[in-house]
Amino acid sequence: MFIMSEDSQRTQGRDAQSSNIMAGKAVAESVRTTLGPRGMDKMLVDSGGEVVITNDGATILNEMDIEHPAAQMIVEVADSQEEEVGDGTTTAAVIAGNLLGEAEDLIEQDVHATTIVEGYHEASEIALEAISEQVSEEVVDDEVLKQVAESSMTGKGTGGLTAESLAETVVEAIRHVELEDGVARDNVTVHTQIGASSNATELVPGIVIDEEPAHDGMPGEVEDASLAVLDVELGVRTGEIDAEYSIDSIDQLNSAIDAEESEVRGYAETVAESGADVVFTTEDVDDRVASYLATEGVLVFEGIGDSDAKDIVSATGATRVGALDDLEEADFGQADRISAENYGDDDLAFVEGGAAAETVTVFVRGGTEHIVDELERAIGDALDVVATALASGEVVPGAGATEIAIADKIREEAAGIEGRKQLAVNAFADALDIVPRTLAANTGRDPIDALVDLRAAHDSTGRAGLITSGEEVTIDDPFDYGVIDPADVKREAIESATEAATMIARIDDVIAAE
């Protein structure tokens, strides 16, 4: 009797567990060398020849063509980390992979998967307590936020611009969107533009969109602007069906031309008389309308995307209008300055100040596409972690110090846990050692020696990390060197890695349909 299709493949027991764990470990290992300030980059080339150069864990894993379902769970760990806190993706993936490795060793010692899962969950609770104990008592001010941003970007491709300089821009951007009850992170965007040194990166108090004026004769800059956002085609109306009109005389032709000109001029006059200095429309603008508005000193941008229109409305307080007859002064948005600027082959519109200042843009410059892409990723992560740190007000030491403290507390608590579950709890602590060991390996130090030294320093001082300063690598208090991470980044990494590892470890039967 056949229950499944003859083409189905089934893997059971230890073989299934081994296959899944091996896949998860392989994915984690693929990003391990990117961890830390001395982490290396990966070059990813797709089937079409597109190249991505990055050391961002989430980007690497998403660009890889991963088909194994267990391996895909590690990718989901990185995605979850990226979505929730914006950084720590590599750390989360590496921890998950090492938890699987430790689980594999326990399974080979005949420790049941359920016991491992229970031990891992208990250890993760202890880990969260240890993170809270490591939270600094220092107030999270601008200086601390800069250190958080700099720690996030150190080791990432920042071109010729130092992480310290970028950190100031990042903190300024987040402070712009700080609210009484949190941070409006979505009000900070990153816009990249090739063609200058990364030192030209700046903060724009407003938004930047890829658009050019509808007519060359329009002003390039309007100050104290009243702007309208339209979903209206400023041109001759056309029917939705094909139709032909028969003209029998010159008078009829002239009448048709006059009617068309009257319609076009009517659109232009309505816009000009409305009092709008700048118009953004999602539809097209007839050349004659654009020419007339140019003579009236009105700046018009046509064919803007729906998302850009939403951003402009959100930033300036304008109301989108779907019919020109409905346009009133109350629908206008306000901005201190709107300008059209040219960057090589690209034209950009800047909407700055006034109501637009509630939304800010980090305008990233770089000499090549690869540089600006990596800068965009680095700054995006830094914005996320600064927003997280500001919202929670909790930061912990980086450089592997928090992982050393967590592992130490777990081993201490494990002594009071009975049965085989104690083995799983201790294995969890051993798995966390992968972070300081990897940091040491990526700096050229012997991982075992570094781990021993870190543990000894932690026992004597209560806080010790692997500090990289120039060519020197020392073991000291990360807070003294400004190597700081948001506590929520560590919590999310522990929780997401634990969930993925325990889910994979419990699978003992894989049924694949062809």
Q: What is the CATH number of the domain that holds 463?
A: 1.10.560.10
pLDDT at 468 (0 to 100): 80
Task: Return d(Cα 57, Cα 191) in angstroms, integer.
Answer: 22
Q: Is the pLDDT of residue 508 over 70?
A: no
125 and 37 inside one domain: yes
333 and 412 inside one domain: no
Per residue in 220-244, pLDDT (tens digit) is: 888 988 888 988 887 655 545 555 5
335 and 221 inside one domain: yes
257 and 341 inside one domain: yes
Whether residue 159 lies inside any domain: the answer is no
Stronger pLDDT, 260 or 455, i.e. the higher one: 455
Identify whether 56 is a catalytic site residue: yes
Candidates 34, 54, 89, 443; catalytic one: 89
Token look-up 């085609």 returns: 233
Identify whether 89 is a catalytic site residue: yes
Candidates 277, 373, 381, 433; catalytic one: 381
Whether residue 36 lies inside any domain: the answer is yes
Per residue in 441-470, pLDDT (tens digit) is: 888 888 888 889 888 988 888 888 888 876
403 and 328 inside one domain: no
Do 279 and 271 meet the contact criterion of CB atoms below 8 Å apart? Answer: yes
Whether residue 43 lies inside any domain: the answer is yes
- Rounded to whole angstroms, what are the CA distances from 22 to 18, 47, 70, 74, 393? 6, 26, 9, 12, 39
Whether residue 189 lies inside any domain: the answer is no
**CATH classification of the domain holding 226:** 3.50.7.10
Per residue in 126-174, pLDDT (tens digit) is: 999 999 998 888 888 889 998 888 888 876 655 445 667 788 888 988 9
Candidates 59, 90, 189, 282; catalytic one: 90
213 and 335 inside one domain: yes
Per residue in 267-315, pLDDT (tens digit) is: 678 888 888 889 899 988 888 888 888 888 889 898 888 888 888 888 8
Whether residue 497 lies inside any domain: the answer is yes
**Domain end marker among 352, 383, 416:** 352
127 and 24 inside one domain: yes
404 and 337 inside one domain: no
212 and 330 inside one domain: yes
Neighbours of 498 (CB within 10 A): 25
Number of Cα atoms under 13 Å in the Cβ half of residue 35: 28
Q: What is the pTM of this model?
A: 0.80
Whether residue 197 lies inside any domain: the answer is no
Q: How many domains does the chain have?
A: 2
298 and 245 inside one domain: yes
Q: Name every residue whose Cβ is closer than 8 Å to that of residue 272 and which is 6 or more positions away in sequence.
A: 292, 293, 296, 298
Q: Name every residue whose Cβ is closer than 8 Å to that of residue 82 and which is 6 or more positions away in sequence.
A: 58, 89
pLDDT at 509 (0 to 100): 61
Instruction: Print the SS3 string covering 405-429.
Output: HHHHHHHHHHCCCCCCHHHHHHHHH
pLDDT at 423 (0 to 100): 92
210 and 338 inside one domain: yes
Running DSSP on this structure, what letter comes out for residue 40? P
Candidates 41, 56, 308, 373; catalytic one: 56
Whether residue 363 lies inside any domain: the answer is no
Whether residue 222 lies inside any domain: the answer is yes
Q: Which of 224, 229, 225, 198 is nearest to 211 (CA)?
A: 229
Percentage of residues in the chain having pLDDT higher than 90: 7
Q: Which domain holds residue 410?
A: 11-136+396-512
268 and 402 inside one domain: no
Stronger pLDDT, 351 or 507, i.e. the higher one: 351
Q: Is the pLDDT of residue 199 over 80?
A: no
